[in-house]
Amino acid sequence: MLKKLLVLMIMAAPVAGICAPGGNKKKEEPVVHLTDEQIYEELKKLALVFEVARDNFVEEADEKKMLEGAMNGMLGALDPHSSYLSADDFKDFNDKSHGEFGGLGIQITSDRGAVRVIAPIDDTPAEKAGIKAGDYITHIDDEQVFDLTLNQAVQKMKGRPGTKVKLTVISDGEEPRTITLKRAIIKVKSVKYEDKKLADDDSENPDKIGYIRISDFGATTTRELKEAIDALEKKDVIGYVLDVRNNPGGYLTAAIDVSDAFLDGGEIVSTRGKGKTDIERSFAKPGDRTNGKPIVVLINHGSASASEIVAGALQDNGRALVMGSQSFGKGSVQQQKPLGDGTAIHITIARYYTPSGRSIQNEGITPDIEVLQSKVEVLEKKESMYSEASFKNSLKNEEAKKKADKKSSDKDADKDDEKELTDEEKDALDYQLQRGMDMVRAMAKMKSRAAAMPVTPGADEDGAGAESKSSPEDDIRAENTDSAPKKK
């Protein structure tokens, strides 16, 4: 058996060696490679540890569990995102990617032995229980997670829909809290959309702003996004808020396609593997589905991986303004390497870079305008005590009484029908969303004013106000310039 085990390990060793990028090792600590003979001696030692442990452990040893633990430990030593996937794990991974799975609806990672929340998924038990990005899970059903691998923690949180699981959660600056969640079938519709208006816009014809929420990047995201944009374009929105807050990522190809939908050209992302020449670049195809309308991308600490690719691509190409808070900082790409028996290796194969060449690994995307989620307190009354209306015998506004009566009836209706907050009321309390919509409206007004500016004819082509004349070659150069990445 020892001989067979050694052969299996030697066959598997090159796979990990070729794919591993070096993980979290510091640059000042270069990797010291072993010779083939040294590797063989270490593998012999590993096989010896297995046999001694199996034969001497006080209880009956589970060989499969021991070997899976050894493989998980090997891959976990590379970085937090590499792991061994059993047949069940591999099936679950594929089910999640196609939009339906069972559990709590939470994306987690390993952080120095603890389980850290990347983000809860929208409309799931985890999100409804108030679990937030950055929270730490310390216990699952009163068992400490520090002795568990990431896959073991995931398995303990999964279960039959309707059954319950108890989690101990620590949020930043708060005392630990224990919450009980009921497992459910998690059906992820990755794109939601609607046309919204600003909370304080009570005009008769408020500006419509296209709101697109992407909760993860799965197999159906691209199709759902195109349907969303097409529907919103028919409603004549003035611009878009693309919300990828608490989006933990997903397929790289989906992130590229989403970016492409908003771009008319330019680089989207580059991935760089272990070798110096192992570089792949992805570029946008001509055709912006939003017709050049203003875009604001909302990000926060729970925006990771594919979300950061989209935010970085639109930011570096000058196509969108990024608002919110610093993103998560996961700048690596994982791939599943099937082992032929239903199991697989989930391993980091590359780092990705934004069009300007930025690696956001451990750094994240920095928003153009930092807007921290806040609670709004009104310091100024909407109608001042000192105004034209306060003067004695001032002329009355004929429409004012109608508006006042309508507001009064609306308030009375609200008092009579106090229920859970409506979607509009929730939007009004979402400070980041309101500021993003504010910015879209401002950008749209600036664009429309610029388009309406009259061209002042000049006396000649060299005059300050002269209309410019261009050749076809100039037009081609201009198009190429517009499609090139705009670096900051």
Distance CA 401, CA 410 (A): 14
Residue 91 CA: distances (Å) to CA of 322, 349, 395: 36, 21, 73
Q: Which of 363, 75, 94, 123 is nearest to 251 (CA)?
A: 94
Contact 427, 433 (CB under 8 A): yes
Amino acid at 375: K
Tokens 């989930």 belong to which residue? 346
- Answer yes or no: 330 catalytic: yes
Mapping DSSP to helix (H, G, I), strand (E, B) and coil, where does residue 50 land?
A: helix
Catalytic residue among 122, 330, 332, 427: 330
Residue 84 dihedral angles phi and psi, to the nearest 5°: -90, 135
Distance CA 79, CA 347 (A): 9
Residue 415 dihedral angles phi and psi, to the nearest 5°: -65, -40
Catalytic residue among 305, 307, 325, 332: 305
Catalytic residue among 79, 92, 122, 316: 316
- How would you classify residue 81: left for phi > 0, otherwise alpha for psi between -120 and 50, otherwise beta? alpha
Distance CA 474, CA 476 (A): 5
Distance CA 104, CA 158 (A): 7
- Cβ neighbours of 62 (radius 10 Å): 12
- Answer yes or no: 316 catalytic: yes
Amino acid at 260: D
Under 8 Å CB-to-CB from 346, ≥6 apart: which residues? 75, 81, 82, 83, 84, 85, 93, 334, 335, 336, 337
Residue 227 dihedral angles phi and psi, to the nearest 5°: -65, -40
Q: Which helix (DSSP H) or strand (DSSP E) does residue 255 occupy?
A: helix 252-262
- Show which residues are catalytic: 305, 316, 330
